[in-house]
Amino acid sequence: MKQTIFQQMHLDAKAKMVSFAGDEMPIQYPQGIIHEHNVVRNDVGVFDVSHMGEFEVRGKDALAFVQKITINDASKLNPGNVQYSAMCKPDGGIVDDLLVYNMDTYFMLVVNGANIDKDYAWCLENTKGMDVELTNMTDEINLLAVQGPKSLDTLNGLADVDMSEIEFYNYKLGKLNAVEMILSRTGYTGELGFELYFKGDKAVAEGVWKAVFEAGKAHNIEPVGLGCRDTLRLEKCYCLYGNDIDETTNPIEAGLGWITKLAKGEFNGSDVIAKVKEDKPNRRLVGFMVEAEKFIPRHNYKISLEGKEIGHVTSGNISPTLGKGIGLAYVAWDNKASGTKIDIEARGKKFAAEIVKLPFVK
C-alpha cells in the first residue's frame, strides 16, 4: 500500500489504519468515529486527504478541454473560483465527480483517490486533437482538510491571508507556516472548512501539521479519519463515488441536475443527458430515514413498497447527530416523493423507513 506523507502523524496519534484505494489511510482514532464526527460538527477536525488526485490542465485549449470533459460550465469561473462538477462518458454515465479550480494560467482538477488512474487515462484520451498539456500532480501535492465551525479561528492567525475573506467555493494563494499553498474554502462535511494544498517533503508536511494543531489547541482540534468523513457527508447527502454514483448512473437521476449545464453547448454525454432530462429518468436518488430501531441500512439492501421491489440502498449508516438510521437510495421515479413509506429488506426481514426531504442535517 502507498502511504501519505503524514503516515507518522497518524501512527503517533494511534490511528487505526486501513487500505483505501491502494493507500494506507486512518479510518479512525482511539476515541472512535462518533466522537470524531461530533468534533467536526462542534469544533474542528483535521483530515489527511492526500490520497485525492490533482491534475493540471494547461495550454491554449485548456478551457475548451475542461468544458468538453465536465458537465458544469467552467467558463463562469474566474481566477480564485472553485466549481463542483462531474465527468461523464458519452452514454451519460458518471466517470467521477470532481472539483475544478481556475488557477488563472491553468486549471486544476481534483478527483477521487480511488479513481486517479482511471480518470487520468480518460482525461488523456480526451486531449486528442487539442492543444492541452495534462499533468498528474498527485504525488507532489499534500492535502489537509481542516473542517468544523472553529476552522476559521484555527487558521486565520496562522495564514498570511485573511481566511475570513475566502468565500465558499473560492480560494486564495498564501503561506501557512511559511509554506506556499492553495487555501481553499471547500470540503465534504457540510461545515465551515478549508482545504490546504501544498508541496514539500516529510519535514515540510509535518511542520504544517504541527502548526495547525498548535493553533487549534484552544479550539479542541483533533485528527479525524475517513470513517467520520463518510457519516458527515451522508448527513448532508453528498454523493460518494462507487456507492451513490458511478458509470451506470447519470447526473439527472443522481440529483446532480443543478451542476449539469446543458445550455453551455456540447460536452461528453450531453445529448444523452438532455434526453434523460426531457423524458424523466426511470429512477431517482432519494434520502430515507429508518423508523425501525437498531437497524443500520447498508449498500445494496433491497427496497420495496407494498411488497414490490422499487430500488436499492446506495449508502446507509447511523446518523450520529440524529441517532437514527439514514441512507440514500435509488427508487423508481414514481415513488420518489417525500413521505413515501418503504421497507428495507435485510437478513430475510423488512425494516420500515420513510423517504424524506434532504439534507438530513441542515
The per-residue pLDDT for range 15-53, each reduced to its tens digit, is 999 999 889 999 999 999 999 999 999 999 999 999 999
Residue 103: strand, helix, or coil: coil
- By the 8 A CB rule, do 93 and 248 touch? yes
Query: Which residues pair with residue 283 across a beta bridge?
Result: 332
pLDDT value at residue 293 = 87
Q: What is the pTM of this model?
A: 0.97
- Quickly tell me which residue has 486564495 as its cell: 172
pLDDT value at residue 21 = 82
Averaged over 67-76, what is the pLDDT?
98
The residues near 146 (Cβ < 8 Å, ≥ 6 apart) are 44, 45, 46, 154, 155, 193, 194, 195, 196, 212, 216
pLDDT of 184 > 90? The answer is: yes
Query: Which residues pair with residue 101 across a beta bridge?
Result: 82, 108
Averaged over 163-173, what is the pLDDT?
98
User: What share of the chain has pLDDT > 70, as a percent?
Assistant: 100
d(CA 198, CA 141): 6
Q: How many CB atoms lie within 10 A of CB 160?
A: 12
Residue 202: strand, helix, or coil: helix
Question: Does the bond joining 359 to the residue before it have cis omega, within 30 degrees of 0?
Answer: yes
Averaged over 183-189, what is the pLDDT?
98
The per-residue pLDDT for range 82-101, each reduced to its tens digit, is 999 999 999 999 999 999 99
pLDDT value at residue 56 = 98
pLDDT value at residue 355 = 98
- By the 8 A CB rule, do 57 and 10 touch? no
Averaged over 308-321, what is the pLDDT?
98
Phi/psi-derived region of residue 221, left when phi > 0, alpha when psi is between -120 and 50, beta in every other case:
beta
pLDDT value at residue 325 = 97
pLDDT band at 294 (very low <50, low <70, confident <90, very high): confident
Domains detected in the chain: 2-50+141-234 (3.30.1360.120), 53-137 (3.30.70.1400), 282-362 (2.40.30.110)
Concatenated DSSP letters for 11-72?
HHTT-EEEEETTEEEEEE-TT-HHHHHHHHHHS-EEEE-TTSEEEEEESTTHHHHHHHHBSS
The per-residue pLDDT for range 197-249, each reduced to its tens digit, is 999 999 999 999 999 999 999 999 999 999 999 999 999 999 999 999 999 99
Averaged over 284-295, what is the pLDDT?
95
Query: If you average pLDDT over every residue of the chain, what do you get?
Result: 97
- Quickly tell me which residue has 430515514 as its cell: 289
- Quickly tell me which residue has 503516515 as its cell: 7
pLDDT band at 308 (very low <50, low <70, confident <90, very high): very high
pLDDT value at residue 6 = 98
pLDDT value at residue 51 = 96
pLDDT value at residue 304 = 98
Cell representation of residue 202: 516529510
